[in-house]
Structure 1
Amino acid sequence: MLVKDFLETAITDAIAPSYLEVVDESFMHNVPDGAQSHFKVTVVSEAFEGQRLIGRHRQINALAAPALEGPVHALALHTYTPEEWVKRGGEPLSSPKCLGGSKHD
């Protein structure tokens, strides 16, 4: 199973998001082809109502735990309530260019 599919299923089954985008950004990093190692997850859910950001991230990290124990090296999380999502314009954030761990261009 692709990691992307696993993450989408795990998150959807647990919190029924109104918006979910899982992007495999491994190609943007210095990893072998097909590595499935770097993901960006944008999720909007009423389940986040009343939760602090750390709680939201803990919840998603717990759902992603099997992937984090395996191929996933980095998981960028963007978690919103429906109201927060609307206020920020309903668009996912762009990811920065990978600097390969060196912090140099």
Structure 2
Amino acid sequence: MSAPPVIEQIRGRLQAAFAPTELEVLDEGHKHIGHAGEGKGHFHVRIVSTAFAGQSPIRRHRMVYAALDGLMDDGIHALSIDAK
């Protein structure tokens, strides 16, 4: 059995790590055609969670990257994050 698509893996990991009240994961590969891998692996995450309360924007981003560890080297080429 093959692994689920990267976008589903991102959603699953972020749900498990942060129990967000809002979560949106968008595949933005179509905006990056012509880049390395023909745009594959470009994603945008918008996440709202109480886990981010009192954390600086940089710390929130680091928390998201930590939750996605492993995918950053295998499946995610670029990631934009809006974490609140």
RCO comparison, higher one (Cα < 8 Å, 6+):
2
Identify the match of residue 15 of structure 2 among 12, 15, 21: 12
Distance of 1:65 and 1:24 partners within structure 2: 18
The amino acid that maps onto 1:32 is E
- 1:10-56 alpha-carbon deviations (Å, 9 max, x no partner): 000111000000001011112437x3x10000000011101111110
Identify the match of residue 38 of structure 2 among 21, 24, 32: 32
Stretches of structure 1 that go unaligned for 5 or more consecutive residues are: 81-105
- 1:37-93 alpha-carbon deviations (Å, 9 max, x no partner): 10000000011101111110000001112111112111000011xxxxxxxxxxxxx
Look at both structures and tell me which one has the larger radius of gyration over its CA atoms: 1
Correspondence 1:68 to 2:72:
yes
Distance of 1:24 and 1:67 partners within structure 2: 14
* Segments ≥4 residues shifted beyond 3 Å: none
> How many residues were matched structurally?
78
% identical equivalent positions: 35
Distance of 1:63 and 1:2 partners within structure 2: 17
Stretches of structure 2 that go unaligned for 5 or more consecutive residues are: none
Identify the match of residue 55 of structure 1 among 55, 59, 63: 59
Q: TM-score, normalised by structure 2?
A: 0.86
Distance of 1:32 and 1:40 partners within structure 2: 17
Distance of 1:32 and 1:78 partners within structure 2: 24
